[in-house]
Copies of this chain bind each other. A is one copy, B any other.
Amino acid sequence: MKGTKNKILTIASELFAKHGFHKTSMEDIARASQKAKGSIYYYFKDKEALFYEVVDKELLHLRRELALVVTDPNKNAAEKFKSYLMLRMEILKESPNYRETLNADFHDHFGFVDTLRHALDRWEKEQFKRIINQGVSDGLFIDQGDKADVLLDVFLMILKGLEVSYFIQNKYNQWHPYFDDLIDILEKGLSI
């Protein structure tokens, strides 16, 4: 039955989100989802494998939503650019398990999610390329030539950095009002 696996996945997602990976025990998940501990292991090899699928689900949602923006026929490149950034932050705000992933990296406790994160990085770079190409062919953006790739990387770096100030340090509500200004700053800084 899909039912059991999904229930475990859903409950696990909530618990991991609320208490973090380390402080959520398999015991907790089993109790909360009213399943036997062994049942979790029937569907998921590991605690890590369970967390992996939880994060995977979040990122699937993120990509699906962002793709709608990128392919939206009613927006020009500049609008897509801004919409993408804002929606990205909005969805990430509700993807707490992916966010936990950004940190612990360092001590390689979550090396097992690297696959997912790198895949997302590549995917996002691709989307930005599309937006920019559209902007260039529409005459809105200037073709940066060889510098384009580096600029894109730098831009993504800043973007990912903001996730931290925004979410992990819980400044979301504090900074959100100034987010427009921030996007302007970035656009201006990158505009040459």
A177 to B99, CA, bound (A): 27
* Interface pair B157/A171, CB less than 8 Å apart: yes
A60 CB within 8 Å of chain B = no
| Chain B residues whose C-beta falls within 8 Å of the C-beta of A96 in the assembled complex | 104, 106
Q: Are A168 and B20 in contact (CB under 8 A)?
A: no
Q: Does A165 lie within 8 Å of B160, measured CB to CB? A: yes
Instruction: Say how many copies of this protein the assembly contains.
Output: 4
Q: Are B157 and A105 in contact (CB under 8 A)?
A: no
Compute how far the CA of A165 lies from the CA of B171 in the bound complex, rounded to whole angstroms. 18
Give the chain B neighbours of A158 by CB distance below 8 A: 158, 161-162, 165, 182
CB contact under 8 A between A178 and B154, given known A22-B105, A108-B20, A188-B189? yes
- Beyond A160-B169, A189-B188, A190-B185, is A104–B100 a contact (Cβ under 8 Å)? yes
A97 to chain B, nearest CB (A): 10
Most chain B CB inside 10 Å of its own CB: which residue of A107, A170, A186: A107
CB-defined contacts of A160 to chain B, threshold 8 Å:
161, 164-165, 169
Report the 4 A-B pairs with minimum CB-CB distance, sorted nearest first: A161-B161, A189-B189, A20-B107, A185-B189
Chain A residues close to B by CB (< 8 Å): 19-23, 96, 99-100, 102-109, 117, 150-151, 153-154, 157-158, 160-171, 175, 178, 181-182, 185-186, 188-190, 192
